[in-house]
Chain A
């Protein structure tokens, strides 16, 4: 439980990267100095930016990346349970993106290519530690597992799109993505 009284009035934001490359998080940070006034009104909960590992109740959850393994599904469900508004961030979250290029092959074929037959593989073996989450047969979009409230397309979405979604939530209005902030690449 947080003991910071002031933080309770701030809008709580959680973020995570599932089957993504962290590029969307980097783009979020491209809001540059606009993060300074934001700090007065938002507080990060679970996020790679805070290193908090367990999500608490939040106003907005921003999920980068689609679902490629069982842990991704679990995290997506946790975000859905704890976030009033869930946002699919980036091409990977929205339709699998670049990781979904593996959908042409079976998960087993991908593992064999990476760990048995790939170029430069030494000590060939497929990792099978019980802690490693099992791969899903295909990389699937976030909205195939949980209800998503808003979608920020782009690879990555531009910083302005992140600002717009956060401002819309702060101002209790619908987000408006204009032509320049609604790209698929």
Chain B
């Protein structure tokens, strides 16, 4: 019928359908743009900013910018790489990201992006948050101090599981994740271990109570392959029942 619609990422042609975002089209074409709060099938959130790209000299989030024909998008520039790395460093400084003792180390998308973007350390003063953890649920544990407030869990619960389970409250340094129950306890929400929302957290905040530390080092998601080749995945993402 008509000519294929396309735009360009770093000179490479990317076909798209009307209505797709830059991120959706890039993902469909097998091109990786670093991201944390984007998940195909959920409404875009545009909060982590890790997916920043440059278009005509201005910086946009690829996950919220609609694709338009013949757009010239720059993604893998050294300036963007540095800015993305600094965003990751900020996320590390804002949470308690002590990877050696973390259940999801090796399977964590924040950590994998840090590896891929060349982060070795950060100079930002750690925020050292001390938020309320929640062990009330029989199958799930909430380790709040690692939350990056991407709201994948809130969107997944609403849009995939059709439940209100999580919410984000507070502002700035006092932002926190809460369970949508009068008691604020996860056990008093409708979430189950089979829900999509129980298998979507990109970091070690919503954790299964059973089965941690069982994948040997070497076989974890990001042990061998960087995230730009492997994509954003969790080892248990198949365990969510549709």
Across the interface, which residues of A come within 8 angstroms of B122, CB to CB? 95
**Cβ contacts under 8 Å, A185 to chain B:** 99-100, 102, 105-106, 217
Q: Residue-by-residue, is B77-107 near A (CB-CB < 8 Å gives 1, otherwise 0)?
A: 0000000000000001000111111100110
Q: In the assembled complex, which residues on chain A have CB atoms less than 8 Å from the CB atom of B102? A: 185
Contact B123 A91 (CB under 8 A): no
Q: Does B9 contact A (CB under 8 A)?
A: no
**Contact of B219 with A by CB under 8 A:** no
Cα–Cα distance between A48 and B98 once the two chains are bound (Å): 26
Q: What residue of chain B has the Cβ atom nearest to residue A144's Cβ?
A: B125
A177-B105 in contact (CB<8A): no
One of A98, A103, A182 near B100 (C-beta < 8 A): A98
Name the prevailing secondary structure of the B interface residues.
loop
Q: Is the CB of B128 within 8 A of A97?
A: no
Q: Classify the interface of chain A: helix, strand, loop or mixed.
A: mixed
The distance in angstroms between the C-alpha atoms of A96 and B101, with both chains bound, is 12
B114 at the interface (CB under 8 A from A): yes
Taken residue by residue from 127 to 154, chain B's Cβ proximity to chain A (1 for < 8 Å, 0 otherwise) reads as 0101000000000000000000000000
A155 touches B226 (CB 8 A): no
The count of residues in chain A whose C-beta lies closer than 8 Å to any C-beta of chain B is 27
A179 CA / B99 CA spacing, docked (Å): 16
User: A104 — which chain B residues lie within 8 A by C-beta?
Assistant: 96, 128, 130
Closest to B102 in A: A185
* Contact A177 to B121, CB < 8 A, known contacts A95-B98, A100-B98, A101-B101: no
Task: Point out the residues of chain B lying under 8 angstroms from A144, CB to CB.
Answer: 125
Q: Known contacts A98-B100, A100-B98; is A184 also within 8 Å of B128 by CB? A: no
B120 at the binding interface (Cβ < 8 Å): yes
Contact A103 B128 (CB under 8 A): yes
Contacts of B111 in A (CB 8 A): 184
User: What residues of A have a CB within 8 angstroms of the CB of B114 in the complex?
Assistant: 184
Quick one: which of A94, A100, A185 has the most chain B CB within 10 A? A185
Of B97, B121, B130, B226, the residue contacting A153 (CB under 8 A) is B121
A138 at the binding interface (Cβ < 8 Å): yes
Given known contacts A182-B120, A184-B105, A185-B105, A91 and B99 CB-to-CB distance under 8 angstroms:
yes
A141 at the interface (CB under 8 A from B): yes
> B121 touches which one: A98, A100, A140, A143 (CB < 8 A)?
A143
Query: What is A's interface to B at a CB cutoff of 8 Å?
Result: 88, 91, 94-98, 100-101, 103-104, 138, 140-141, 143-144, 148, 151-153, 155, 177, 179, 182-185
Chain B residues at the A interface, C-beta cutoff of 8 Å: 92, 96-102, 105-106, 111, 114-115, 118, 120-123, 125-126, 128, 130, 217, 226
